[in-house]
Chains A and B, each alone.
Chain A
């Protein structure tokens, strides 16, 4: 039996805009296995970022359920949700979302502060993680002093701080040039393989295709199709030709 880490059941999300109701998600059913690298793809406005927020407990669905590790997210208390975000998930965002008042090192220690890890231990771990993402020499720089690629590396190190079982990446390469984007994707893929972290990424970056195990195409708030890796292989040739 496959080990399901994320499962959504008829997830609906509506946004109220004045008198209009925008249905961003129209009943999403997906299952994600532990250790998978999943890409949620779709044009902007398709609802992939909304789905991303639902899976990461960053927003509540209007209807339907999200299960993570078999746990129904809508049954969790505020404290449990905070602990969930702190320990189980690492978030990576398009615009990095680093705290500008904290150094790279300070950003990486923050989730560990929230987890109650002692000073010495968290400082050492932050150094180790920053080293791992290739920022050993820029640890004590503020985000403003780093390039986009370097900031995203800090965000990745921060996402790994509490050894999460899931990495959620929302368009992690959208603000980066092709080469830097490639490096970031490789880094995330490396973590996926080495540490067995489940990676769920909302993207419309075609470079993401060849590292993904499965691709979920989202269109108009619905799952249009789910493609497996071997189905994709053939198409990558075509994509490569276009780039």
Chain B
């Protein structure tokens, strides 16, 4: 057996190895991953649908075609109403809290796993990187699906309100009309949704993962959820 007295330094793992481990983990935990991802999808879908819906309203108002509903409610009002702003802010909050919560849960139930990996010689940084990769991928996939679903939802609503006119004036690209509020366009909104979802997922999981990785393994493994 070994008789060395000097204790060597632990090596860093190649990136590919981390990638492989994180994908394996996502694949085998597929059911659980789907639930976490669904949390992200729903949050982003809600946000993007509300926002896109608003963009559509703006674009069609500008084109001079107001929806039947808008006709009844707020014909005179141009641009984003306070109600719309509130709705967007609310959906943003719901999205942030929802994603942070599902990521927190997903990491907390894996504290023992983190402790075990450290017993086997994992560096703190490796543990954090693993969760970063997993959650980044989950976040991106979930958010992309959510953004697309949200856009579809908003389009469906728009079709109901404006009919096929919607497609002639669809606010796909950013626009800065002179006498109306600026629009960022649906494409950018989808991109924004993806980035936001990914960012929230990564922050929501790597922060608790970092905290768990810092704990002595005995403590991490003791943590009961």
> Contacting A82 at CB < 8 Å: which of B3, B10, B216?
B10
Interface residues on chain B, size class: 35 or more
Contacts of A78 in B (CB 8 A): 123-124
Q: Enumerate A90-118 residues with CB–CB distance to B below 8 Å.
A: 91, 93, 97-102, 106, 110-111, 113-116
Whether B7 contacts A82 by the Cβ 8 Å rule is: no
Q: Which residue of B lies closest to A195 (CB)?
A: B1
- Contact of A10 with B by CB under 8 A: no
Contact residues in B for A85 (Cβ distance below 8 Å): 118-121, 217
Q: How far is the CA of A186 from the CA of B188 in the complex (A)?
A: 65
Assembled-state Cα–Cα distance A163/B2 (Å): 8
What is the CB-to-nearest-CB distance from A34 to chain B, in angstroms, rounded to a whole number?
8
Question: Within 8 Å CB of B178, what residues of A?
Answer: none
In the assembled complex, the CB of B72 is this many whole angstroms from the nearest CB of chain A, namely 55
**Given A69-B4, A78-B123, A87-B8, are A59 and B116 neighbors across the interface (CB < 8 Å)?**
no
**Could you mark each residue 109-121 of chain B with 1 if its beta carbon is under 8 Å from any beta carbon of chain A, else 0?**
0001101111111
Question: Is B17 part of the contact surface with A, judged by Cβ < 8 Å?
Answer: yes
Q: Does A165 reach chain B (CB closer than 8 Å)?
A: yes
B28 vs chain A, min Cβ distance (A): 4
List residues of chain A with CB within 8 A of the CB of B176.
none
Which residues of B are found within 8 Å of A84, using beta-carbon distances? 7
Contact of B122 among A82, A106, A164 (CB under 8 A): A82
CB distance from B155 to the nearest CB of A (A): 39
**Which of A58, A82, A97 interacts with B123 by CB under 8 Å?**
A82
Which B residues fall within an 8 A CB radius of A? 1-11, 13, 17, 21, 24-25, 28-29, 112-113, 115-124, 126, 216-219, 221
- In the assembled complex, 30 residue pairs joining A and B whose CB atoms fall closer than 8 Å, in A order, are A53-B218, A58-B216, A58-B217, A59-B218, A59-B219, A71-B7, A76-B7, A77-B9, A80-B7, A80-B8, A80-B9, A82-B122, A83-B121, A85-B121, A86-B10, A86-B120, A86-B121, A87-B2, A88-B2, A93-B221, A100-B113, A101-B24, A110-B117, A110-B120, A113-B17, A113-B21, A114-B10, A115-B11, A116-B13, A165-B1
